[in-house]
A and B are shown apart, each in its own frame.
Chain A
């Protein structure tokens, strides 16, 4: 694949992503023509009813889906690269679980917490559970197989979920938190977007800059250190990226599993193993997937809404099974 093919691929994916955004804005309880969507973004008219629907309701939600999807997808790509585990995903491994736990604690003890602090604590939770998951790899003296590592992560996820549920039940928070467990972007507001967008874009840029080293690392640690790569620094920075993306993703969209599992596989299919390309492609694919999934969640059983996390699990689980099946064959 030449470099031109890759640029064309990115361009095509960008167009698909953009088209799905326009679709998602225009379809809903009130269908809005594409042209109105276009004019509402570029010539906003506060008198126009349709423009108000777009600006107040649909646009924040869709933008939330775009950046939450990109966050989970890129975090999945990075974690699959540094663990060399094709089953890794920050939802499955319990990193989201840590973020949800701290969000739960915040709600229990300080219900009036501002969104900025909530995001901050969500980072801390993600960092703690990242530390927990990776220290399991260190505690085990033998080499952990990808299957074993994934099981350990899944059990940590279950464990953290049990603790958050316990806290939620004791403080009677079930209603407020159901959204975080199930995952969704229905409640995204303009207030949340600047922080989300900044962090996601910065993290994606850092991850892309690490791309070359990640590519070498994913082929093997010995190879990477013999080529003079500072592995400790690389792992540390990558985990930082994962924590940032996971934390902000959970703070805005709740715990959505499987996006970070599915997308890296697709992006490897599309563009190969070079992470300098892989990471931006993952971001685009992740955005598209979550935007379309959120649109489907709104319209399949309209006027009722499906939970986004459940919908993605329906796609994600069969995918997970196929990968697990393949992994054993090698």
Chain B
């Protein structure tokens, strides 16, 4: 059984990797400065002209890496959150974690960004605090008297809490200069803003570490999805497992959102596709979901930049263009089966 499932798993993983690879080449050649495929390959392997290297390594490559890593982070966070709530409609953006993280980033930009050199290192910390505050308040508000969580109510409260955090974000950004306002506005729509290697180096360790930890948790998540009572009898600590899933989801989504912008519905789409393809085993669908998330975000960013060259459309808008209708479809399907 296990080997039987491995084969499609490896197949889908390789298909996704090929897809990412193709998008990568398309993306690295997208922009006002065109390079031929051969030139790109030459440059990547260290034989190119200086100005080509500058364009590729200083402008395009960091952005592509950012989209890949951020997309993977948001997708894994979505998987974990869906496991925590036991509901496949949970999305880190819809539940307000992104809004909290955005708010944290704006607080950082308003009060701390110019205080010392390399202050950017602190971005993950601020984003995480915001995301964690949002998560805690949502879980607290959604808990009913008997301790259970009604998921529809959780989503609704998430929507309200994000409205509040977005209001604070807008308020703070209006207090600042005009530039900061337009920065905040475009970033709330999911514009990949981190463009320098420093942002890549901030993002990668966090996403790598916590994705690894999430994979480590996969077996316990499998037991948990059978049922909490069942998981209890197998001897795992249900409460601790769920809480670690939530914390990891918050860290992954907050850090990713702080760097790549507020991308909604990606945490819903990627895990769903992965589950459809390889089934509900988290050991298989977590890695696939990470790759799919990376691919979707890179593709959206590339389309946004290449199709609308004059004024690039933020990746987040393109993702919600597919994600929004898909969410409504799921919501109605769920309603019918109840």
A169 — which chain B residues lie within 8 A by C-beta?
A: 186, 189, 311-314, 317
Whether A142 contacts B164 in the complex (CB less than 8 A), given A163-B321, A170-B311, A307-B174, comes out as no
Among A139, A165, A170, A317, point to the contact of B163 (Cβ < 8 A).
Answer: A317
Which stretch (A11-19, A66-74, A318-326) binds chain B? A318-326
B contact residues around A147 at 8 Å (CB) = 150, 152-153, 156
Q: How far is the CA of A141 from the CA of B170 in the complex (A)?
A: 39
Residue pair B321, A162 in contact (C-beta under 8 Å) = yes
Cα–Cα distance between A3 and B53 once the two chains are bound (Å): 82
Contact A174 B153 (CB under 8 A): no
CB contact under 8 A between A151 and B331, given known A163-B321, A313-B164, A324-B153: yes
Q: Check A321–B320 contact: CB distance below 8 A.
A: no
Docked-complex contact B167 and A328, CB < 8 angstroms: no
Q: Choose one: A163, A166, A304, A328; the contact of B153 (CB below 8 Å).
A: A328
A-side contacts of B312, CB under 8 Å: 169
| Contact present for B185 and A136 (CB under 8 Å) | no
Question: Contacts A162-B324, A182-B170; is A144 near B335 (CB within 8 Å)?
Answer: yes
Contact status B331-A155, CB under 8 Å: yes
Mark contacts of A121-143 with chain B using CB atoms, 8 A cut-off: 1 yes-contact digit, 0 otherwise: 00000000000000010011110
On whether A156 and B328 interact (CB within 8 A), knowing A313-B164, A314-B167, A317-B160, the answer reads yes
Q: Distance (Å) between the CB of B270 and the closest chain A CB?
A: 18
Asked if A140 meets B152 with Cβ closer than 8 Å, knowing A307-B170, A310-B167, the reply is no
Partner among A162, A310, A317, A321 whose Cβ is within 8 Å of the Cβ of B189: A162
Instruction: Please provide the chain B residues from 260 to 274 with a CB less than 8 Å away from any CB of chain A in the complex.
Output: 264
Shortest C-beta distance, B269 to chain A (Å), equals: 13
Q: Does A288 contact B (CB under 8 A)?
A: no
A306 at interface, CB cutoff 8 A = yes
What CA separation (Å) do A147 and B182 show in the bound complex? 34
Say whether B135 faces chain A, with CB atoms less than 8 Å apart.
Answer: no
Give the residues in chain A near B324, CB-CB below 8 Å: 155-156, 158-159, 162
**Complexed CA–CA distance, A312 and B160 (Å):** 13
Nearest-CB distance from A139 to chain B (Å)?
6
Contacts of B332 in A (CB 8 A): 136, 139-140, 152
Q: Is the CB of B311 within 8 A of A172?
A: yes
Q: Mark B311-335, 1 if CB is under 8 A from A, else 0.
A: 1111011101100110110011001
Q: Does A207 contact B (CB under 8 A)?
A: no
B208 within 8 A of partner (CB) = no
The residues of A that contact B321 with a CB separation of less than 8 Å are: 159, 162-163, 166
Minimum Cβ distance to chain A for residue B19 (Å): 24
Chain A residues within 8 Å of B320, by CB = 158-159, 162
**In the complex the two chains form, what is the Cα distance from A316 to B332 in whole Å?**
27
**Which of A152, A316, A328 contacts B331, CB < 8 Å?**
A152
**Could you tell me how many residues of chain B have their Cβ less than 8 Å away from some Cβ of chain A?**
45
CB distance from A285 to the nearest CB of B (A): 21
- Docked Cα-Cα span, A176 to B152, in Å, equals 36
* One of B156, B157, B167, B317 near A162 (C-beta < 8 A): B317
Mark B235-262 against chain A: 1 for CB-CB distance below 8 A, else 0: 0000000000000000000000000000
Nearest-neighbour CB distance to chain A for B271, whole angstroms, equals 17
Interfacial chain A residues near B331, Cβ < 8 Å: 148, 151-152, 155
Point out the residues of chain B lying under 8 angstroms from A304, CB to CB. 175
Given A155-B324, A155-B327: A170 in contact with B313 (beta carbons within 8 A):
yes
Docked Cα-Cα span, A142 to B335, in Å, equals 7
Assess whether A171 is interfacial by the CB under 8 Å rule: yes
* A178 close to B (CB within 8 Å): yes
Closest chain A residue to B311, Cβ basis: A170
**Inside 8 A of B264's CB, which chain A residues have their CB?**
158
Which residues of chain B in 149-165 are interfacial with respect to chain A, using CB atoms and an 8 Å cutoff? 150, 152-153, 155-157, 159-161, 163-164
Answer whether residue A2 sits at the interface, using C-beta atoms and an 8 A cutoff: no
Report the minimal beta-carbon distance from A109 to chain B, rounded to whole angstroms: 15
Q: Whole-angstrom distance between the alpha carbons of A150 and B152 in the complex?
A: 10
A162 → B minimal CB distance (Å): 4
A145 touches B (CB below 8 Å): yes
Closest A residue, CB atoms, query B190: A162
Contacts of B335 in A (CB 8 A): 140, 142, 144, 148
What CA separation (Å) do A313 and B169 show in the bound complex?
12
Q: Which of B141, B308, B325, B327 contacts A321 (CB 8 A)?
A: B141
Please indicate the chain A residues that have their CB under 8 angstroms from the CB of B167 in the complex: 310, 313-314, 317
Q: Which of B159, B182, B316 has a CB less than 8 Å from the CB of A151?
A: B159
Are B185 and A178 in touch, CB under 8 angstroms?
yes
Q: At the interface, yes or no: A87 with Cβ under 8 Å from chain B?
A: yes
CB distance from A153 to the nearest CB of B (A): 10
Residues from chain B with Cβ under 8 Å of A144 in the complex: 335
Q: Is A256 an interface residue, CB under 8 A from the partner?
A: no
Q: Is B144 an interface residue (CB 8 A)?
A: yes
Q: Binary interface profile of B, 75-99, with partner A (CB < 8 Å = 1, else 0)? A: 0000000000000000000100000
Q: Which residues of B contact A174 (CB under 8 A)?
A: 182, 185-186
Q: List 17 A-B contacts (CB under 8 A).
A: A140-B335, A142-B335, A145-B152, A154-B156, A158-B264, A163-B317, A165-B317, A170-B308, A174-B186, A178-B181, A178-B185, A182-B170, A304-B175, A307-B174, A310-B167, A313-B164, A321-B161
User: B-contacting residues of A (Cβ < 8 Å)?
Assistant: 87, 136, 139-142, 144-145, 147-148, 150-152, 154-156, 158-159, 162-163, 165-166, 169-172, 174, 178, 182, 257, 301, 304, 306-307, 310, 313-314, 316-318, 320-321, 324-325, 328
Given A306-B174, A328-B144, 13 extra CB contacts under 8 A: A87-B156, A142-B338, A147-B156, A151-B155, A155-B324, A155-B327, A158-B324, A162-B321, A169-B317, A182-B170, A310-B170, A310-B171, A320-B160
Residues of B at under 8 Å CB distance from A? Answer: 94, 141, 144, 150, 152-153, 155-157, 159-161, 163-164, 167, 170-171, 174-175, 181-182, 185-186, 189, 264, 308, 310-314, 316-318, 320-321, 324-325, 327-328, 331-332, 335-336, 338
